[in-house]
Amino acid sequence: MNATLKDYLMLHFIVLIWGFTAILGLLISLPAIELVFYRTLIASVGVAGLFFWKKKRLLLPVRDMVKVTGVGFVIAVHWILFFWSARVSTASVCLAGMATTSLWTAFVEPIFNRAKIKWYEVGLGLMVIVGLLVIFSFESGYWLGLSMALASSLMAAIFSVLNGKLAHRHNPYQITFYEMAGACLFTLIFMPIYSGFMTDSGLNLQWVGYDWFWLFLLGGVCTVYAFSVSVELMKRLSVFSINLTVNLEPVYGIVLAVLIFGESEKMTPQFYLGTAIILVSVLSYPVLNYLNKRRKPVRPLG
């Protein structure tokens, strides 16, 4: 993998954009299922329009189309559980649970790629969890929300590993289209179950106030652009290093919230300590990965 400084900087920029999605989640009045439906619908239509405008080929072979669309189902489950977790508990509980993504990846990636587990990746994943638990005052009594966040982080690890494979075979915008279309299809299939058995108020698809603006920002910039660039980066960066950096998303989200909403609260010492732990974990990965490769014995020629 020929990763460059530009790739890592772009990755952090994408994570910064994803940190903004937490703010958009607060600005949009829709429940989790409906929010994910509109997000993926806008994203898939946007990518299709982009291909039509550039007169590029959007179709994939049927077999590949089914595979990529199936990954979209996993993405839909991830997003639904993520937003739902925050609604039934708190944002702190949700983000603390999502911190396990890099830890899940350390186990999931070797399974899919038939490789050995790198125990230093497991250790770095555990460091990230410690850092986020220091930042967010962990509250007890939210087991449902925490369980949803843990399941969401597992889904995130799975689709990231699958995307890492797809990124080397297809155009990132083709992948984005079929995955967003698949995620949108999943929400449509899930809606009757949700409205019939999981809520008393039924579906709420009505936009209120500036919902339309925030949804198009979420679907366009935070999904089409950010998601496609992340898929492109997977050609050069490992899935684990990407997911490890994504753990900075809640940190960026808090900083953006302070700048945008003008919160007068001072950052606590725990915030800076937790941020330092996360940064050490993220910055340690390239070093440990390099040292691990140097330790591997070189096979003699002949």
3-state secondary structure 244-279: HHHCCHHHHHHHHHHHHHCCCCCCCHHHHHHHHHHH
Most confident by average pLDDT, 137-146, 203-212, 236-245, 290-299: 203-212
Tell me the residue type at 222: C
Name the more confident of 175 and 251. 175
Contact 33, 79 (CB under 8 A): no
CA–CA dist 229, 234 (Å, integer):
9
In the block, tokens 């919160």 appear at 263
- DSSP one-letter string for the chain: ----HHHHHHHHHHHHHHHHHHHHHHH--S-HHHHHHHHHHHHHHHHHHHHHHHT------HHHHHHHHHHHHHHHHHHHHHHHHHHHS-HHHHHHHHTTHHHHHHHHHHHHHT----HHHHHHHHHHHHHHHHHTTPPSS-HHHHHHHHHHHHHHHHHHHHHHHHTTTS-HHHHHHHHHHHHHHHHHHHHHHIIIII-SS-------TTHHHHHHHHHIIIIIIHHHHHHHHTTTS-HHHHHHHHTTHHHHHHHHHHHHH---PPPPHHHHHHHHHHHHHHHHHHHHHHHHHHHSPPPPP-
Q: pLDDT at residue 2 above 70? A: no
d(CA 245, CA 99): 11
Whether residue 221 is predicted with pLDDT greater than 80 in this model: the reply is yes
Reported as a pLDDT band with limits 50, 70 and 90, residue 58 is: confident
CA–CA dist 23, 224 (Å, integer)? 18
pLDDT given at position 72: 94
- For the chain, what percent of residues have pLDDT higher than 90? 20
Residue 74 Cα to chain centre, angstroms: 11
Which pLDDT band, with edges at 50, 70 and 90, does 265 fall under?
Answer: very low
Measured CA to CA, the distance from residue 7 to residue 2 in angstroms comes to 9
- How confident is the prediction for the chain on average, in pLDDT? 80
Residues sharing a CB contact under 8 Å with residue 34, sequence separation 6 or more, in sequence order: 203, 204, 205
Q: Looking at the predicted structure, is the pLDDT value of residue 89 above 80? A: no
Q: What's residue 185's pLDDT?
A: 96
What's the distance, Cα to Cα, between the start and end of the chain in Å? Answer: 26
Residue 137 has pLDDT above 90, yes or no: no
Yes or no: say if 19 and 152 are a contact pair by the CB < 8 Å rule. Answer: no
Structure-model confidence comparison of residues 65 and 114, the more confident one: 65
- Residue 169 has φ and ψ, to the nearest 5°, of -115, -25
For the full predicted model, state whether its pTM sits above 0.85: no
Tell me: pLDDT of 266 over 60.
Answer: no
Residue 140 confidence (pLDDT):
55
